[in-house]
Amino acid sequence: MSLLKSREALLGGAILVLLVLIASRFPGFVAPDNLVRVFTDTSPLLILALGQTVVILTRCIDLSVAANLALTGMVCAMLNAALPGLPVAVILVVAVALGAVMGMVNGLLVWTLSIPSIVVTLGTMTIYRGIIFLISNGAWVNAHEMSDAFTGFPRASILGLPVLAWFGILAAVGMMVMISRTPLGRAFYAVGGNPHAAVYTGISVGKTQFWAFTLSGALAGLCGYLWVARYAVAYVDIAGGFELEVVAACVIGGISIAGGAGTILGTILGALFLGIVKNALPVVDVSPFWQMAISGTAIIVAVTLNNRNSKGKGRIILRRAQDQASEGATV
């Protein structure tokens, strides 16, 4: 019963219905090859949404992810253009490290200066985009300036799946384990669910938010390389407006904007839902004027469902304490 009501089951059902609908108009869409392609295409969105999820869980929002992605991507592309012999592994490390540093800047501002995260990341978003212009002078880094190893890595196939898709899967699994099995994972929920209670249990709210931003930044940095390598082009405006799609994936997945509620599985399904819609719209012959309206409607429906769900109680992170509390009540 609770499974039927759960948001994840609902969303999973919606995705299946969506696939059936698409298949009725364009059967080729559900061919295994194509589904792999769709998943691969959705992977950057998925990875960013996972990072965004932990940020939103702590009652914050990170609007700088797309700018972070673009800046890291530009740095990677310029590195590759300048030093074509640099191994991809080094570039990956640089990407993740640079992304993490940018996330830390957000986190530090939110933590130490207590500025609302929407303001901080709105600012850093513009700053990061501006830095891309400064380092590149507005010029593009093009396909013929990148090495084959650089652009080939996300496409390389391991066990039938492109590396890009594997990164999506690894990030999802890693994040699930981190959220459910580590103190930090539980701290994200605690901080978002009830900051005052979190302080009393010895969790630093600011520090937890700092780590959330760092994690989101590191994942955005990783995506920066993957994105630039995939499309084989880097310029100032790449992934423009992508941060809103990332937030949308989280919201559709049931992550409450008010913080503290939602699951990683929800985010994964939310990202997949958006990814399927984005990939299906071009083939089902829907007027481009309708495409944005359809994506928008999905978000509104999801938020409405969220609102109804959030009337329930918060997530219980200490089962034993609750048992004691209920015992106390009966006595």
Amino acid at residue number 246: V
Q: Which is nearer to other proteins, 60 or 298 (CB)?
A: 298
H/E element, 30: none
Question: What does the binding site for other proteins look like in residue numbers (CB under 8 A)?
Answer: 26, 28-29, 34, 37, 41, 140, 142-144, 146, 155, 227, 231-233, 237-242, 278-279, 281-283, 285, 288-289
Task: Find, among 229, 214, 55, the residue nearest to 148 by Cα.
Answer: 229
Alpha-carbon gap, residue 109 to 118, rounded angstroms: 11
Rounded to a whole number of angstroms, the minimum distance from the CB of residue 311 to other proteins is 37
Q: Which is nearer to other proteins, 207 or 278 (CB)?
A: 278
CB 49 within 8 A of CB 273: no
Rounded to a whole number of angstroms, the minimum distance from the CB of residue 267 to other proteins is 20
* Helix spans in 145-203 (H): 148-152, 163-181, 183-193, 195-200
Task: Find, among 153, 273, 282, the residue nearest to 225 by Cα.
Answer: 153
Rounded to a whole number of angstroms, the minimum distance from the CB of residue 123 to other proteins is 23
Rounded to a whole number of angstroms, the minimum distance from the CB of residue 213 to other proteins is 24
Alpha-carbon gap, residue 167 to 165, rounded angstroms: 5
Rounded to a whole number of angstroms, the minimum distance from the CB of residue 124 to other proteins is 22
Q: Which is nearer to other proteins, 66 or 264 (CB)?
A: 66
Rounded to a whole number of angstroms, the minimum distance from the CB of residue 232 to other proteins is 6
Rounded to a whole number of angstroms, the minimum distance from the CB of residue 41 to other proteins is 7
Alpha-carbon gap, residue 166 to 137, rounded angstroms: 34
**Which two structure tokens, joined as six digits, stand for 133?**
């212009």
Rounded to a whole number of angstroms, the minimum distance from the CB of residue 330 to other proteins is 57
Q: Which is nearer to other proteins, 200 or 289 (CB)?
A: 289
Alpha-carbon gap, residue 147 to 228, rounded angstroms: 12
Rounded to a whole number of angstroms, the minimum distance from the CB of residue 280 to other proteins is 9
Question: What sign does the CA torsion over 72, 266, 209, 180 have?
Answer: negative
Residue 210, judged by CB atoms within 10 A of its CB (0-12, 13-18, 19+), counts as: buried
Q: Which is nearer to other proteins, 178 or 233 (CB)?
A: 233
Q: Which is nearer to other proteins, 109 or 236 (CB)?
A: 236
Q: Which is nearer to other proteins, 2 or 287 (CB)?
A: 287
Q: Which is nearer to other proteins, 49 or 100 (CB)?
A: 49
What end-to-end distance do the CA atoms of the chain give, in Å? 30
Task: Find, among 317, 308, 326, the residue nearest to 192 by Cα.
Answer: 317
What Å distances lie between residue 196 and 54, 191, 203, 205, 212, CA to CA?
A: 18, 8, 10, 9, 18
Q: Which is nearer to other proteins, 142 or 182 (CB)?
A: 142
| Rg, Å, the chain Cα set | 21
Alpha-carbon gap, residue 149 to 11, rounded angstroms: 38
Largest interatomic CA distance in the chain: 75
